[in-house]
Structure 1
């Protein structure tokens, strides 16, 4: 039986101790590194954002009907989209731009204005009104469409037709939801009604966290009314919240879908009124099962959203 001195250990035991120390050292460096803290975010961002975008970009170059294997066809989907798809060019794109340009900026302005008004009232009242204003965005546009469908119903049961008939303004019920010229304005109205979402809460939080001493110093320097406070103190002090609200407004409006079909009761709606780009992608992807073509539509939409986000960053991002 071998005996070892207290100061001398066998090679395998000493090597094991060194390996353990080396491993502990590596783990300690990883734990103390900043990359350790962002690893969960990077992992989720890659799996939920980057990977789907890459898959959509790859599928957009193929013909894929979800049954057969994807067949590479190059840029044929994009060529067909911009040269032969009249519904996409004449209806989906134009409707999306009209809806986004009206609902996005107006909803953004209304969100800031309501948040500014609520920041002036006591805490309890502010909480109640915040819940009331925010609640339509929780239900989503499709659920709101179901509610508004009752109001704009094309018979005497519809509340608006009933009131118009009672007041003698019309002689027969108006087909609000089947008339292409009326469907889009109704969608815009509903979109504005439900645009007070997360961006509204972010702006309210930004308003409530502005240092009040800035206003006192501004009054000493010559500011005399609330409008000057808003433009010279409030907005510059909450640019991150303003940027977040702008990005959420852009994403929310460009990502809208299903509202026209819910209101009109059919897919597609009459003369494709209110037919948006996401509706077009859903139609090809989940009704016709042309996933490659649907992916091309989503890639084009992604490029449009990125361009509008760049504009938002130019307006509200910090200079430094």
Structure 2
């Protein structure tokens, strides 16, 4: 540390802020998960009561847990593959065209009015685009309440989330593809690589391991932490909790009921799920190129 003291001094502002506003709140949340805390009275230690209530007595949480796992299992891998495939295809285009198409594909992830478009398309009356199309061609005789019917709600939220998924991971993959040393492909051709699929598996993917790991963390975190899309499209809470997720359950107890101890227990469970899935993803990515 003495030899690198100037580096530590330069890094100190970031690490201080990171510790105060990220590490410390996570540690406090973990401690509060073992208490009964309503933000008015001093926290009262309750041990494992919050976790027992969560998994044994809270039926809505079990619905949220099922929805979140289903959501993550479908949208996580699909969005991850979509980010890479689109980035891989775009990388072959001329620079100006590549920049333009990248902007088009990235735009939905930052568009503030994105939900309004899907609300109009899935509107529950005859003016909704999907209802109007299906009624015009005789597929249905009366409008479908897409965003109120539990049969359709979770599927629609998944579709919208996939549409929004070409975000940070997508840009990271494009940057990773641009940074690959082109001499590796020449060396690969001399070593017996004969087609693009072999180039992809033995050269491109191993060269992009940092970006692949970053993209996996981003996409998994996004799929487990979905809430805004669900609330904007299906309401809060959704009908029969059909689109209820762990994060919306957390928001219910944390920002509406102010049961901060119980909300902290929900956040801790979600944190553990994310860590577990990231560890699994790291193991899988280590096998790329073998």
TM bucket normalised to smaller: over 0.9
Within 2, Cα distance between the matches of 1:139 and 1:307? 31
Which residue does 1:25 correspond to in 2? none
The answer to whether 1:96 aligns with 2:64 is no
The answer to whether 1:294 aligns with 2:263 is yes
Within 2, Cα distance between the matches of 1:318 and 1:219? 22
Find the residue that maps to 2:198 and give its secondary structure: helix
Per the TM alignment, residue 145 of structure 1 is displaced from its structure 2 partner at its CA by 2.8
Within 1, Cα distance between the matches of 2:114 and 2:157? 10
Within 2, Cα distance between the matches of 1:92 and 1:237? 38
How many residue pairs are counted as aligned between the two chains?
Answer: 288
Within 2, Cα distance between the matches of 1:68 and 1:226? 64
Within 1, Cα distance between the matches of 2:6 and 2:169? 33
Instruction: Give unmatched runs, 5+ long, in structure 2.
Output: none
The answer to whether 1:194 aligns with 2:164 is yes
Quick check: 2:35–2:44 contact (8 Å CA) kept in 1?
A: yes
- Normalising by structure 1, we get a TM-score of 0.85
Quick check: 1:260–1:273 contact (8 Å CA) kept in 2?
A: no
Within 2, Cα distance between the matches of 1:172 and 1:181? 17
Match for residue 8 of structure 2 among 19, 35, 48: 35
Quick check: 1:65–1:292 contact (8 Å CA) kept in 2?
A: yes
RMSD: 1.9
Quick check: 1:240–1:316 contact (8 Å CA) kept in 2?
A: no
Which residue does 2:246 correspond to in 1? 277
- Normalising by structure 2, we get a TM-score of 0.94
Per the TM alignment, residue 132 of structure 1 is displaced from its structure 2 partner at its CA by 0.9
Per the TM alignment, residue 32 of structure 1 is displaced from its structure 2 partner at its CA by 4.1
Structure 2 counterparts to residues 70-149 of structure 1, below 5 A: 70-89=43-62, 91-139=63-111, 143-149=113-119
Per the TM alignment, residue 197 of structure 1 is displaced from its structure 2 partner at its CA by 1.1
Instruction: Give unmatched runs, 5+ long, in structure 1.
Output: 1-28
Which residue does 1:174 correspond to in 2? 144
Task: Flag the 1:104–1:85 CA change in 2: closer, same or farther, 3 A.
Answer: same
Quick check: 2:160–2:229 contact (8 Å CA) kept in 1?
A: no
Within 2, Cα distance between the matches of 1:170 and 1:240? 49
Within 1, Cα distance between the matches of 2:231 and 2:5? 53
Which sits farther off after the overlay, 30-39 or 144-153?
30-39
Match for residue 180 of structure 2 among 210, 232, 245: 210
Quick check: 1:30–1:36 contact (8 Å CA) kept in 2?
A: no
Match for residue 279 of structure 2 among 310, 315, 320: 310
Find the residue that maps to 2:142 and give its secondary structure: coil
Give the greater-gyration-radius structure (CA).
Answer: 1
Find the residue that maps to 2:104 and give its secondary structure: helix
Within 2, Cα distance between the matches of 1:170 and 1:114? 35
Match for residue 194 of structure 2 among 186, 201, 224: 224
